[in-house]
Chains A and B, each alone.
Chain A
Amino acid sequence: GNSVTQMEGPVTLSEEAFLTINCTYTATGYPSLFWYVQYPGEGLQLLLKATKADDKGSNKGFEATYRKETTSFHLEKGSVQVSDSAVYFCALRKQAGTALIFGKGTTLSVSS
């Protein structure tokens, strides 16, 4: 079946450090891939997305590239800030109108 595996945290970094959160997926065909972020006490916000192989999604300094050959969608940021502290969820969607399949989430904690 379809599934998403992401590295478990917590990930603890100092401000301005480089961030990578790994995400791999299992799905037939060409799912759409998403990264969502959840700040403390809030709902989920879309961070970025990619809909086909080699697409790169980017937003707020975060990037992720849809790699069909490695079934991966790793999240990266060159220089994290304290305000990036949150839980990050990788997700896929196989069909329009269907629900997202989430990874378990990765907690990021950035200290100054």
Chain B
Amino acid sequence: DTEVTQTPKHLVMGMTNKKSLKCEQHMGHRAMYWYKQKAKKPPELMFVYSYEKLSINESVPSRFSPECPNSSLLNLHLHALQPEDSALYLCASSPRTLTGWAQLGQPQHFGDGTRLSIL
């Protein structure tokens, strides 16, 4: 069983719709991530939250809007997406400390993803 839960598993939406992807973890992790993965490609980082604050935005278009309402939840709000945004969206989490060194070897835990199709 995955410890990072993503909903929904599948989502089909039109280019004018507004929808949200949700991610939840209860491992006490304080770093959470959104990745986008196209078929037969590695995951591409989109956003990183550290202690509920956005720390990295990899120049993602504004039609993707992340939100971290608390330490266990991560949302990705979608609006006016394009067909090329169709992909698997993966959420991940990892421990995070201010000192950092002791947590370097801690892996990121991934959810099973939301498969998004834009019509």
Contacts and interface: CB of A to CB of B under 8 A. Distances in A.
Contacts of B48: 97-99
Nearest to A50: B105
Interface residues of B, number: 35
Nearest to A99: B45
B90 interface: yes
Contact of A97 (B6, B42, B103, B111): B103
19 contacts: A32-B104, A42-B113, A43-B2, A43-B6, A43-B90, A43-B110, A43-B111, A43-B113, A49-B105, A87-B40, A89-B42, A95-B100, A95-B104, A96-B100, A96-B103, A97-B30, A97-B95, A97-B97, A105-B42
Given A43-B113, A97-B50, 6 more contacts: A36-B110, A43-B6, A97-B95, A104-B42, A105-B41, A105-B42
A96 B43 contact: no
Nearest to A104: B42
A97 B113 contact: no
Nearest to A48: B107
Contacts, number: 72
A97 B33 CA distance: 10
B112 interface: yes
B27 interface: no
Nearest to B48: A99
Contact of B104 (A45, A93, A103): A93
B106 A44 contact: no
A34 B107 contact: yes
B100 A51 contact: no
Contact of B94 (A31, A97, A103, A107): A97
Interface in B84-106: 88, 90, 92, 94-97, 100-106
B96 A99 contact: no
Contacts of A93: 104, 108
B25 to A, nearest CB: 13
